Amino acid sequence: MNIVSIPALTDNYIWLLHDDHASALIVDPSASAPVETVLTTLGLRLKAILITHHHLDHTAGAKALRDRLDVPVYAPQDRRIEAATHRVTNGDELYFVAPAVKFRVLAVPGHTLSHVAYAGEGLLFCGDTLFSLGCGRLFEGSPEQMLASLDRLAALPDATQVCCAHEYTAANARFAALVTPENTALALRTRQVAALRAAGKPTLPVLLAGEKATNPFLRVDHTEVIDWCARQGVATESRTVRFAALRKAKDVFS
Ligand code: ZN
Ligand code: FE
């Protein structure tokens, strides 16, 4: 299976997965034109579209692609996603024949309430829930919900390749360094990210194991984040309070 990140809009990635027989599926088409260009260039046939959440920078290209290429659109139960042909819900297993892949649907409320992630084939398409070195903003859900969603994602196998929907890693690294300045794995990843960006390359996908070692939002139970909370005068006993304080600090940081 081959994975391609298609840059779109300012900093979105549309993920494309294809087999060696020219069958492809995509996740979160923020626009149709870049997808059609890649399909033509690589000689691929689009077989399905997966959507993680209703925001336009994840859905705006879905209807045009659906109508032009006659493909199914899988999306969570949310009226705001009008292009959907198939609704998915937590625990659903999606089987595709070509490319031959299987994904499990995980409900991950927080960024939005109906947000889902798709996990399978060693890949995780998590939309705007988990970013490399960060997490999505809480537009609709509570800190409790988002933390539980991140816990679900963190419980996937360490070797999972995390396919986030935005190239936010460099900015996230600057915030993470303020929170956990002593984390040597983070310093290493930050240098790697700078080199990738300087070369015009994506910082994604990223291994879940690496995220668990570096992403402060996945490390609310570690001393370094507890210490940061103490330095900020945040009560440190509750992990939800620690997570909420981190998210709030990030909101005003960038
Ligand atoms: Zn979003
Ligand atoms: Fe987004």
Contact (CB, 8 A) for 14 and 46: no
Q: Out of 18, 54, 111, 115, pick the active-site residue.
A: 111
Q: Is 19 known to be catalytic?
A: no
Query: What separation in Å is there between the alpha carbon of 76 and the centre of ligand 1?
Result: 14
Q: Is 55 known to be catalytic?
A: yes
What pLDDT is stored for residue 172 in this prediction? 98
The span from the CA of 32 to the CA of 60, in Å, is 8
What are the phi and psi torsion angles at 139 (to 5°)? Answer: -80, -35
Burial grade of 233 (CB within 10 A; 0-12, 13-18, 19 or more): exposed
Structure tokens at 112: 């939005």
Q: Which of 99, 92, 144 is nearest to 119 (CA)?
A: 92
Query: What separation in Å is there between the alpha carbon of 100 and the centre of ligand 2?
Result: 27
The rounded average pLDDT for each run of 10 residues, N- to C-terminus, in the chain (254 residues) is 97 98 98 98 98 98 98 98 98 98 98 98 98 98 98 98 98 98 98 98 98 98 97 95 98 88
Query: What separation in Å is there between the alpha carbon of 213 and the centre of ligand 2?
Result: 24
Query: What separation in Å is there between the alpha carbon of 98 and the centre of ligand 2?
Result: 27
Q: Which ligand is nearest the CA of 80, by number?
A: 1
Q: Out of 18, 54, 58, 115, pick the active-site residue.
A: 58
| Residues 254, 7, 1, 17, CA torsion sign | positive
Contact (CB, 8 A) for 125 and 52: yes
Query: What separation in Å is there between the alpha carbon of 237 and the centre of ligand 1?
Result: 30
CA torsion angle for 179, 139, 57, 122 (degrees, to 10)? 60
Q: Which ligand is nearest the CA of 115, by number?
A: 1
Q: Is 18 known to be catalytic?
A: no
Please provide the DSSP assignment of 59-128 as one string. Answer: HTTHHHHHHHHT--EEEES-TT-TT-SEEE-TT-EEEETTTTEEEEEEE--SSSTT-EEEEETTEEEEET
Query: What separation in Å is there between the alpha carbon of 110 and the centre of ligand 1?
Result: 10
What pLDDT is stored for residue 105 in this prediction? 98
The span from the CA of 202 to the CA of 124, in Å, is 16
Helices 169-179 and 184-198 pack at an angle, to 10 degrees, of 160
Q: Out of 18, 54, 57, 78, pick the active-site residue.
A: 57
The span from the CA of 41 to the CA of 151, in Å, is 38
Residue type, 80: R
- Count CB atoms within 10 A of the CB of residue 184: 10
Query: What separation in Å is there between the alpha carbon of 176 and the centre of ligand 1?
Result: 21
Q: Is 111 known to be catalytic?
A: yes
